[in-house]
Amino acid sequence: MSYQSSQDPEDRLPDWLKALRKRQSEEPKEEAKPAQPSQPPAAEGEDTEPTWLREIRERHRREQPTDEELLAEERALTDTQPTAPIKPLEKRRIETPFEPIELEKPVEKIPEPVSKIPDWLTLDEHGESSAAEETADEFTQPEKRTPAFADMEAEALSPGELPSWLQAIRPSETFPEEDNRSEEMLPSSEETAGPLAGLVGVLPAEPEIVQFGKPPVFSARLDVTESQARHAAAFSRLVAAEGRPREDLGRQVALPTRVLNWIISAAVFLAVLFPLIVQSQGTPRPEVDAVQFAASTNIFNAIDVLPPNAPVLIAFEVQPALYGELSAPAAAVLSHLLDKQARLVFISTQPTGPALADRLLQEHLSAAPSVATGDYVNLGYLSGGMAALRSFTSDPRTATLSAAAAVQNPWQSTSLLAVGQLRDFAMVFVITSEAEDGRAWIEQAGSSLPQGLYIVGSTQSAPLLKPYLLSDPPTLRGLVDGFGGATFYERLRNTDGLGRTYWDAFSYGLGAIVLLILLGGLYSRLIHLRPEKPAAQTEGKSA
């Protein structure tokens, strides 16, 4: 393949040429460094700085503080500056990390972005500028932007740090890292021309007609509250932080916190292990309450009236991560189906689905005659996601089946002889670990199934699947979820299964988790009562 063949010439190169190539590939990275706004100025410029300024610069560089600390420090330093220097607007725009991309009209007045300025030019600028100007440049940098809200650390999201894919999907100005109104529109912006230049909060000296730049467009802007904007910014920081290496995170966690984490981990492990080791079964199972567990009761009632040899389709959309959880409710429902002599037909849009379905049958239901004799059909993996699902639900017989299933010619088996359409199945179950997979089946197959779907789900998928139980017209007829659903279903059937086995461990683990969250919350509240929290002070100021 081409990517492999492209490696070969590289390997054949002599060492000196490899070294040269490597060096060449590194050079552009070094050139790009000055373009990042967070990078400190060049070293040559520092020679002319006074000692106190150099100390601050070095501390700033050495500490590389967190975003909050950085903002607090910048504010403190800005407050110490009696007079803000007056600078032309054009220069400020060069250094603004988030340039509005729509600025087409005044483009000829805006100099090239910093990333395109060669090193020598940047260095020269610093070298020529006076120490006072450099000080001002550094300390007033936050003011050059127009933050959408006061306590947002916009500096953490400079364009140079954003991964390319995030840049690509970032809708222009949707996340208000920067206010895309012109600075003159903001109440606290500086005057940039005339005798009042440099003062804040004055009427504009120039008439609007001579001001260049894109006129503000209000109707197209998203109106977001400060809280929403903070969430959006926090999310952006979170995504941006994904690209950074996290090798030393373990070292950064303070020892008491680590010990606390160990205690929490040990407590949860012990709480779960204890009932498993002593094999206790003393925890009461859920009461048979047809109202509270109506969705599970619906499944029980529908299976209970199923005639023998009825074909039942099982979509096994289970991720291996949640096989452990889903094995309990799935085994409970499938054992009921097998007791009713239903002919099970499995299919999955997950590559690992067929293997997990086989494992579940062999591990927990091998006593059933049809499983022991292999009298069930596994249609295998249905590749292609939503397209495959739509293809299968609209015409199952022409759908693309996996090679292993196609060899067996499953449509000639007794289970599927009478099945031509999806609605010919007596019941259709989706055993799913993700709400998205359940939703895909409801959306793509719902219109082909007047009798509706039944879902055996994980507890994490249940909150987003439950609304479909009450939809009009009804699409989802029944739902059994998690260990709780499994235990209830087993009780309905007067049997003991995996739900019963795990129920005590579930109860004790849950108890430990609730207790730990409660204690942790109380501990955190006590910490918050202490007054000296720099972050809290910053928040207070901005509020």
Partner 1 sequence: MRTGIRAPVSTAVAIAVGFLVLISLLIPGLEDLRNQILNWAILLAAIALLLGLANLFQVHFNKVRDREKPVYSSILLVAMLVTFGLTLWQGSQGDVPKWIFNNLQLPIETGLMAVLAVSLTIAAARFFQSRSDLMGFVFIGALFIALLAAAPVFGLELPIFTQVVGPIINSLSISAARGLLIGVGLGTLATGLRILLGADRPYGG
Partner 2 sequence: MPSDLLSQAGIVAAALLTLITLSYAFGDHPVFRIVLYLFIGIAAGYAGAIAIEDVILPQLVFPVLDAWNGVFQIAPADLIVRVVLSALLLLKLSPRAANLGNPVTALLAGVGAALAIGGAVQGTILPQVGAAVTTFNAAQFDLAMQGGHYGESIQVVVEGTILLLATVSTLAYFHFGATARGSQPPLRPIVVDGLAWVGSIFIVITLATLFAGVLLAALSALIERLSFLVGVANMLMGQ
By CB under 8 A, the residues from 392 to 411 that bind partner 1 are 394-395, 398, 400, 403-404
Q: Which is nearer to partner 2, 156 or 332 (CB)?
A: 332
Binding to partner 1 (CB under 8 A): which residues in 317-356?
Answer: 319-324, 352, 354-355
**Closest distance to partner 2 from the beta carbon of 440 (Å):** 7
- Tokens 């903070």 correspond to what residue? 230
- Binding segment for partner 2 (CB under 8 A), chosen from 7-15, 194-202, 288-296, 502-510, is 502-510
Distances from the Cα of 266 to the Cαs of 251, 259, 271, 504, 505, in angstroms?
A: 21, 10, 8, 18, 15
Contact partner at residue 538 from partner 1, partner 2, none, CB < 5 to 8 Å by partner kind: none
- Tokens 């879902």 correspond to what residue? 455
Question: CA-to-CA distance for 175 and 10, rounded, in angstroms?
Answer: 43
Q: For 253-322, where are the alpha helices, taking DSSP H only? A: 255-278, 294-304
Site string for partner 1, 158-187 (x = CB under 8 A): --------------x---------------
Q: For 279-341, where are the alpha helices, taking DSSP H only? A: 294-304, 323-339
Task: Note whether 505 binds partner 2 by CB under 8 A.
Answer: yes
Q: Which is nearer to partner 2, 195 or 282 (CB)?
A: 282
Looking at the DSSP bridge assignments, the partners of residue 326 are none
Binding to partner 2 (CB under 8 A): which residues in 5-44?
Answer: none
Task: Note whether 108 binds partner 2 by CB under 8 A.
Answer: no
Q: Which is nearer to partner 2, 51 or 164 (CB)?
A: 164
Looking at the DSSP bridge assignments, the partners of residue 190 are 200
Q: Using CB under 8 A, pick the residue from 187, 207, 282, 450 that binds partner 1.
A: 282
**Closest distance to partner 1 from the beta carbon of 280 (Å):** 8
Q: Using CB under 8 A, pick the residue from 209, 249, 526, 529 that binds partner 2.
A: 249
Q: Are 326 and 358 in contact (CB under 8 A)?
A: no
Q: Using CB under 8 A, pick the residue from 98, 316, 454, 502 that binds partner 2.
A: 502
**Closest CA relative to residue 40, chosen from 96, 123, 113:** 123
Q: Using CB under 8 A, pick the residue from 150, 186, 268, 310 that binds partner 1.
A: 268
Structure tokens at 313: 């389709």
Question: CA-to-CA distance for 343 and 414, rounded, in angstroms?
Answer: 9
CA 444 to chain centre: 25
Q: What is the 3-state secondary structure (H, E, C) of 117-133?
A: CCHHHHHHHHHHCCHHH
Distances from the Cα of 441 to the Cαs of 385, 388, 393, 475, in angstroms?
A: 10, 11, 9, 10
- Binding segment for partner 2 (CB under 8 A), chosen from 196-204, 256-264, 286-294, 518-526, is 256-264
Q: Using CB under 8 A, pick the residue from 188, 362, 400, 537 that binds partner 2.
A: 400
Binding to partner 1 (CB under 8 A): which residues in 1-60?
Answer: 1, 3, 7, 10
Contact partner at residue 194 from partner 1, partner 2, none, CB < 5 to 8 Å by partner kind: none
Q: Using CB under 8 A, pick the residue from 50, 201, 351, 420 that binds partner 2.
A: 351
CA dihedral 306, 310, 315, 319 (to 10 degrees): 70
Number of residues that bind partner 2 (CB under 8 A): 74
Q: Using CB under 8 A, pick the residue from 98, 346, 429, 503 that binds partner 1.
A: 503
Task: Note whether 518 binds partner 2 by CB under 8 A.
Answer: no
Contact partner at residue 327 from partner 1, partner 2, none, CB < 5 to 8 Å by partner kind: partner 2
Task: Note whether 256 binds partner 2 by CB under 8 A.
Answer: no
**Closest distance to partner 2 from the beta carbon of 450 (Å):** 13
Q: Are 471 and 500 in contact (CB under 8 A)?
A: no
Task: Note whether 446 binds partner 2 by CB under 8 A.
Answer: yes
Task: Note whether 404 binds partner 2 by CB under 8 A.
Answer: yes
- Binding segment for partner 2 (CB under 8 A), chosen from 13-21, 72-80, 83-91, 317-325, is 317-325
**Closest distance to partner 2 from the beta carbon of 375 (Å):** 23
Cis previous bond, 97, omega within 30: no
Task: Note whether 414 binds partner 1 by CB under 8 A.
Answer: no
Q: Are 74 and 142 in contact (CB under 8 A)?
A: yes
**Closest distance to partner 2 from the beta carbon of 219 (Å):** 6
Task: Note whether 235 binds partner 2 by CB under 8 A.
Answer: no
**Closest distance to partner 2 from the beta carbon of 75 (Å):** 24
**Closest distance to partner 2 from the beta carbon of 104 (Å):** 22
**Closest distance to partner 1 from the beta carbon of 109 (Å):** 23
Question: CA-to-CA distance for 139 and 30, rounded, in angstroms?
Answer: 25
Q: Is 429 helix (H, G, I), strand (E, B) or coil?
A: strand
Task: Note whether 463 binds partner 2 by CB under 8 A.
Answer: yes
**Closest CA relative to residue 328, chosen from 138, 458, 147, 460:** 458
- CB-CB neighbours of 106 under 10 Å: 13
Question: CA-to-CA distance for 490 and 497, rounded, in angstroms?
Answer: 7
**Closest CA relative to residue 146, chosen from 95, 202, 77, 218:** 95
Structure tokens at 365: 């239901």
Q: For 466-533, where are the alpha helices, taking DSSP H only? A: 482-492, 498-529
Q: What is the 3-state secondary structure (H, E, C) of 174-197?
A: CCCCECCCCHHHCCCCECCCCCCC
Structure tokens at 529: 């009562």
Q: Using CB under 8 A, pick the residue from 17, 76, 510, 535 that binds partner 2.
A: 510
**Closest distance to partner 1 from the beta carbon of 387 (Å):** 4
Q: Is 344 helix (H, G, I), strand (E, B) or coil?
A: strand
Contact partner at residue 359 from partner 1, partner 2, none, CB < 5 to 8 Å by partner kind: partner 1
